[in-house]
Amino acid sequence: MKRNARSKKAVVYENLKNRIINNLIKPGEPLNEGSLSKELKISKTPVREALQQLEKEGFVENIPVKGAFVSKISVQDIRELFEIREILECEVIKRAVNKVDPAKVRLLRDRFVSSESENSRSAPSHFRSGDQIHTFIFETFGNRRLMEIYKRLQDHVVRNRIFFFDQSHPGRSEESFKEHLEILDALEAKDPLRAEQAVRSHLRNSLEYLKKIL
């Protein structure tokens, strides 16, 4: 019974998290236990437990008396997210450079460039391709626990990007493409300082761009 209860909570959790990340449930929208229970044809307990988990992860906020709501996205949230990314990614890439296989970097670069030629750089596919590069850095470093932390962080990165995507400008996509190529070139060259600077510049440019459209 306990295992079944956990699996029900997991189903509700994944359902709601995916909808929040993909902006299918907008920031500030209410999350009513009763309504969700009826919609998902499940009891209120796993819904409540899922909402509690999502609250811990920052996707949901609970307002006394009013109830649960999808958390809003503020300038401060975005700034904090990029600060965490800069601290983590700049340090990880410096260490990952020593472990990287240049042949794998070249293969990833070819896939990235190929993806860009097949799709518009303002399309979501561009950003997904960029995410693969960041994930590759953490995979190369090889710290399993750190990888888990990064994946949870990446959920918020993707949510923010999808939320602001309608306001994106092709010019930023072009810049981002070049910045990712520099990251890959630095990795292939096994140059830790160049790699660190490439990641730092990319993240800071991305943050400045988001601040302009907010």
In contact, 5 and 30? CB cutoff 8 Å: no
Encode pLDDT of 60-69 as tens digits.
Answer: 999 998 999 9
**What pLDDT sits at residue 1?**
41
In contact, 44 and 34? CB cutoff 8 Å: yes
Secondary structure element (H or E) that encloses residue 69, with its range: strand 67-70
* pLDDT exceeds cutoff 80 at 73: yes
CATH topology of domain 75-213: Four Helix Bundle (Hemerythrin (Met), subunit A) (1.20.120)
Encode pLDDT of 106-154 as tens digits.
Answer: 999 999 998 877 655 555 555 678 899 999 999 999 999 999 999 999 9
Mean pLDDT of the chain: 90
Domain 2-70, classified CATH 1.10.10.10, yes or no: yes
Domain residue spans in the chain? 2-70, 75-213
Taking alpha carbons only, the member of 21, 74, 77, 11 closest to residue 43 is 11
**What pLDDT sits at residue 163?**
86
State the helix-helix crossing angle for 2-21 and 44-56, rounded to 10 degrees. 50
pTM for this predicted structure: 0.85
